[in-house]
Chains A and B, each alone.
Chain A
Amino acid sequence: MVIQNADRRMQIYGALLLLPAAVLLGTFAYLPTVSTLVNSLFLPGFRGSPPEFVGLENYALLIEDRTFWRVARNNLIYALGTIPTSIALALGMALFVNARLPGRGFVRMAYFTPTILPMIAAANIWMFFYAPQIGLFNKILGALGISGVNWLGDPSVALGSVIVMTIWKEAGFFMIFYLAALQSIPPELKEASDLEGTGRWSFFWRVTFPLLMPTTLFVLINALINAVRVVDHLFILTKGGPNNATNLLLYYVYENAFSFFDRTYAATITVVILLVLAVVATVKFTILDRRTHYQ
Chain B
Amino acid sequence: MNNDDKRIRLEEVSKTWGGQAAVDRISFDVAPGEFVILLGPSGCGKSTTLRMIAGLEQASDGRIRIGERDVTHLPPGDRGLSMVFQSYALFPHLSVADNIVFGLRSRKVPKAERQERLARVAQLVDLEAYLDRKPAQLSGGQRQRVALARSIISEHPICLMDEPLSNLDARLRGEMRREIKALQQRLGMTVIYVTHDQVEAMSMGDRVILMEAGRIVQDATPDELYNRPATAFAASFIGSPAMNLVTLAAAADGAVIEGEPRCSVASHDAKGHLLGVRPEDITVLPAHASGVPAEVVDAEYLGADSIVRLKVGSQELRARLDGVPSVNQGAACRLQWAPWAAHFFDSGGGQRLALQGYDLSAAPGRLRQTQAAQRSGVTTSPGPSGKHSPGVNP
A residues contacting B by CB (< 8 A) are: 186, 188-189, 191-199, 202, 206-207, 210-211, 213, 293, 295
Smallest distance from the beta carbon of B69 to chain A beta carbons, Å?
A: 15
Decide yes or no whether B209 CB sits under 8 A from chain A.
no
**What would 5 A/B residue contacts be, using CB atoms closer than 8 Å?**
A188-B89, A195-B83, A197-B76, A198-B106, A293-B93
B residues in contact with A207, CB < 8 Å? 91, 93
Smallest distance from the beta carbon of B17 to chain A beta carbons, Å?
A: 14
From known contacts A198-B77, A207-B91, A211-B92, infer whether A193 and B102 are also in contact, taking CB-CB under 8 Å: yes
Residue contact B89 to A189, C-beta cutoff 8 Å = yes
Number of interface residues of B (CB under 8 A): 25
Smallest distance from the beta carbon of A115 to chain B beta carbons, Å?
A: 29
Smallest distance from the beta carbon of B342 to chain A beta carbons, Å?
A: 46
Residue contact A195 to B81, C-beta cutoff 8 Å = yes
Residue of B78, B81, B85, B106 ringed by the most chain A CB atoms within 10 A: B106
Smallest distance from the beta carbon of A78 to chain B beta carbons, Å?
A: 33
Docked complex Cα distance between A188 and B106 (Å): 17
Residue contact A195 to B77, C-beta cutoff 8 Å = yes
A residues in contact with B56, CB < 8 Å? 191, 194-195
Smallest distance from the beta carbon of B73 to chain A beta carbons, Å?
A: 15
Decide yes or no whether B330 CB sits under 8 A from chain A.
no
B residues in contact with A189, CB < 8 Å? 89, 91
Residue contact B77 to A197, C-beta cutoff 8 Å = yes
Residue contact A198 to B103, C-beta cutoff 8 Å = yes
Smallest distance from the beta carbon of A183 to chain B beta carbons, Å?
A: 15
From known contacts A191-B56, A293-B93, A295-B92, infer whether A196 and B85 are also in contact, taking CB-CB under 8 Å: no
B residues in contact with A295, CB < 8 Å? 92, 136
A residues in contact with B78, CB < 8 Å? 197
B residues in contact with A198, CB < 8 Å? 77, 102-103, 106
B residues in contact with A195, CB < 8 Å? 54-56, 76-77, 81-83, 103
A residues in contact with B136, CB < 8 Å? 295
Residue contact B102 to A293, C-beta cutoff 8 Å = no
Smallest distance from the beta carbon of B325 to chain A beta carbons, Å?
A: 46
Residue contact B92 to A193, C-beta cutoff 8 Å = no
A residues in contact with B91, CB < 8 Å? 189, 207
Residue contact B76 to A191, C-beta cutoff 8 Å = yes
Q: Nearest residue in B to A197 (C-beta to C-beta)?
A: B77
Docked complex Cα distance between A188 and B47 (Å): 14
Residue contact A196 to B107, C-beta cutoff 8 Å = yes
A residues in contact with B87, CB < 8 Å? 186, 188
Cβ proximity bits B78-122 to A, threshold 8 Å, 1 near / 0 not = 100111010101011100000000110111000000000000000
Residue contact B89 to A186, C-beta cutoff 8 Å = yes
Smallest distance from the beta carbon of B240 to chain A beta carbons, Å?
A: 31
Docked complex Cα distance between A211 and B75 (Å): 25
Of B54, B85, B92, B106, the residue contacting A197 (CB under 8 A) is: B106
Supplied contacts A191-B83, A207-B93, 15 more A-B pairs, CB within 8 Å? A188-B85, A188-B89, A191-B85, A192-B89, A192-B150, A194-B56, A194-B75, A195-B56, A195-B103, A196-B77, A196-B82, A199-B106, A206-B102, A206-B105, A295-B136
Docked complex Cα distance between A152 and B369 (Å): 110
Smallest distance from the beta carbon of B155 to chain A beta carbons, Å?
A: 12
Decide yes or no whether B49 CB sits under 8 A from chain A.
no
B residues in contact with A202, CB < 8 Å? 106
Smallest distance from the beta carbon of A249 to chain B beta carbons, Å?
A: 37
Decide yes or no whether B154 CB sits under 8 A from chain A.
yes
Docked complex Cα distance between A293 and B98 (Å): 15
Smallest distance from the beta carbon of A290 to chain B beta carbons, Å?
A: 13
Residue contact B89 to A191, C-beta cutoff 8 Å = yes
Docked complex Cα distance between A69 and B136 (Å): 49
Residue contact A197 to B107, C-beta cutoff 8 Å = yes
Docked complex Cα distance between A211 and B324 (Å): 56
Residue contact B85 to A192, C-beta cutoff 8 Å = yes
B residues in contact with A206, CB < 8 Å? 102, 105
A residues in contact with B77, CB < 8 Å? 194-198
Docked complex Cα distance between A197 and B85 (Å): 16
Residue of B91, B134, B136, B154 ringed by the most chain A CB atoms within 10 A: B91
A residues in contact with B134, CB < 8 Å? 293
Docked complex Cα distance between A193 and B150 (Å): 11
Smallest distance from the beta carbon of B109 to chain A beta carbons, Å?
A: 11
Smallest distance from the beta carbon of A185 to chain B beta carbons, Å?
A: 9
A residues in contact with B85, CB < 8 Å? 188, 191-192
From known contacts A207-B91, A293-B93, infer whether A192 and B106 are also in contact, taking CB-CB under 8 Å: no
Smallest distance from the beta carbon of B40 to chain A beta carbons, Å?
A: 21
Residue of A186, A188, A189, A295 ringed by the most chain B CB atoms within 10 A: A188
Interface residues of B in 37-92 (CB under 8 A from A): 54-56, 75-78, 81-83, 85, 87, 89, 91-92
B residues in contact with A196, CB < 8 Å? 77, 82, 102-103, 106-107, 154
Smallest distance from the beta carbon of B392 to chain A beta carbons, Å?
A: 54
Docked complex Cα distance between A18 and B105 (Å): 52
Q: Nearest residue in B to A192 (C-beta to C-beta)?
A: B89
Q: Nearest residue in A to B54 (C-beta to C-beta)?
A: A195
Residue contact B75 to A293, C-beta cutoff 8 Å = no
B residues in contact with A188, CB < 8 Å? 85, 87, 89
Q: Nearest residue in B to A198 (C-beta to C-beta)?
A: B106
Smallest distance from the beta carbon of B221 to chain A beta carbons, Å?
A: 29
Residue contact B103 to A293, C-beta cutoff 8 Å = no
A residues in contact with B54, CB < 8 Å? 191, 195
A residues in contact with B81, CB < 8 Å? 195
